[in-house]
Amino acid sequence: MIYLLLSILSSSIIFVVFKLFKRFEINTLQAIIVNYFIACAVGYFGFVEDANISEIPSKPWFYGTLILGLLFIIVFNLAAITTQRSGLSVVSVATKMSVAIPVLFGILYFNESAGILKIVGVVLALIAVYLSSIKANTGIAIKKKNLIYPILVFLGSGLIDTLIKFIESGYVNKTDVALFSSTIFSVAGTIGVLVLTFQGITGNLKITGRNIIGGIVLGIPNFFSIHFLVMALRNNGFDSSTIFTINNVAIVLVSTVLGIILFKEKLITKNWIGIVLAIISILLVANSGI
């Protein structure tokens, strides 16, 4: 449980950092790419022992990290497009409701329990995510021509969580968890550099120290959010469907509270209902296996 709590805390800190990006006018793409390398460095130099980099391609999970690294970049860019065309609320809902994909995968592929408490808890979790994410006078309104983008964000985010569970459970040894996490970020960062290189060739690139600092600040909690999630998934106390549900809903809950405390965000009635449902869903899902 401690690993799950640390993952939730790390992901919630990421929310705070992203909010500060807007305040300090930091280029999100550049900061994201820098963040991948920082996250890789934190994992490799802080948690990996006696690793030979030349042996990484021979690891059974290596090709999985290539797919995950590519997905990280793709989903990020899709999220950016969705934000521009349909708003931040739509991205938030699409990302967090994607928890349904790894939950369903865990139940069907790993034959995890699907009792009435868990089913009700997951349904309430999805409703809670929706209600907690919508903002006053905006709601969730998507033009038909833009519908494909939040759908792709939903599928991509769900696929990332599902692949992490699949690869972790079948191919990652306990001693390789940090190296596995670091390699994912390294791949994502390398692909990101190719994107920046293309921008530089086309004359649309301007790297600033502010963007680099933003990436450094983001990279530290980002590594721990993935690392601790993988460690939580390795714990036999909870099914992966339980872990993913609690993780996603708790992040929404904690992020909302931090938004109120740190950024004086105002909540509408639907948001408060979402918070209450989030708490109930966490209690139901956490106790579903007892």
> One digit per residue, pLDDT tens: the chain, 290 residues?
899 999 999 999 998 898 888 889 898 889 999 999 999 999 999 999 877 889 999 999 999 999 999 999 999 888 888 877 877 677 888 888 899 999 999 999 999 988 898 999 999 999 998 888 877 655 555 677 778 988 999 999 999 999 999 999 999 998 899 999 999 999 999 999 998 888 888 877 788 899 999 999 999 999 999 999 999 998 777 899 999 999 999 998 898 888 889 888 888 898 899 999 999 999 999 887 55
Could you report the per-residue pLDDT of 90-102, keeping only the tens digit for each? 788 888 889 999 9
Report the amino acid identity of residue 26: I
Please state, in angstroms and rounded to a whole number, the distance separating the CA atoms of residues 35 and 13.
14
DSSP 146: G
Predicted confidence at residue 15, as pLDDT, reads 86
Tokens of 124: 């309430």
Predicted confidence at residue 247, as pLDDT, reads 93
Please state, in angstroms and rounded to a whole number, the distance separating the CA atoms of residues 223 and 252.
19
Tokens of 215: 């990436």
Could you report the per-residue pLDDT of 50-73, keeping only the tens digit for each? 778 899 999 999 999 999 999 999
Q: pTM of the prediction?
A: 0.88
Within 10 angstroms of residue 108's Cβ, the number of other Cβ atoms is 11
Predicted confidence at residue 103, as pLDDT, reads 93
